[in-house]
């Protein structure tokens, strides 16, 4: 007969393994999204917009983790050529959310930033960022 102590250990190690695996998977998904061309181009456009950077008090500009559970705000469909993300950003004075809408050209595979907005957390100020000329169609 299996002892209660053995069952407790199995449950403990199984739970630790499951939590560790979930944490690892979450980090891999975050890293994959941050490595995407749509993510990089959006942050590049933000860093080149003086109004948005001033609203954040940046530099420095840092990003936080995406809310992977919010599939309404964070939805990337590469096979459909669509990416919509709410990227949490932090400047020297303020925090905000960079909302980006991107599309992918089916022939070239290149991503284009269609719309970019920065929402400042404390004030509720919305800054519309115009993507660089090379990004606009």
Question: How do the domains of the chain map onto residue ranges?
Answer: 1-35, 37-129
CATH architecture of 37-129: Roll (3.10)
Please report the pLDDT score of residue 67 as a whole number: 82
- DSSP three-state, residue 111: strand
pLDDT at 137 > cutoff 50:
no
- Check the CA dihedral 55-56-60-62 and report its sign: negative
- Of 41, 60, 49, 54, the residue nearest 114 (C-alpha): 41
Whether the CB-CB separation of 121 and 109 falls below 8 Å is answered with no
pLDDT in tens, 1-11: 788 999 999 99
pLDDT at 50 > cutoff 80:
yes
Q: Six-digit token pair at 47? A: 């860093």
In whole angstroms, give the CA distance from residue 113 to residue 129.
10
Whether the CB-CB separation of 131 and 113 falls below 8 Å is answered with yes
pLDDT at 36 > cutoff 70:
yes
């Amino acid at each position: 007969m299996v002892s209660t102590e053995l069952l407790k250990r199995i449950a403990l190690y199984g739970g630790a393994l499951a939590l560790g695996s979930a944490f690892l998977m979450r980090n891999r998904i975050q890293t994959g999204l941050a490595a995407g061309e749509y993510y990089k181009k959006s942050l590049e456009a933000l860093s080149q917009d003086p109004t948005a950077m001033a609203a954040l008090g940046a530099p420095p500009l840092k990003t936080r983790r995406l809310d992977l559970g919010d599939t309404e705000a964070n939805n990337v469909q590469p096979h459909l050529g669509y990416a919509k993300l709410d990227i949490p950003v932090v400047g020297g004075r303020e925090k905000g959310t960079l909302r980006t809408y991107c599309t992918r050209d089916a022939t070239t595979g290149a991503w284009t930033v269609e719309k970019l907005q920065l929402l400042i957390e404390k004030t509720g100020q919305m800054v519309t960022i115009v993507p660089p000329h090379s990004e606009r169609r």
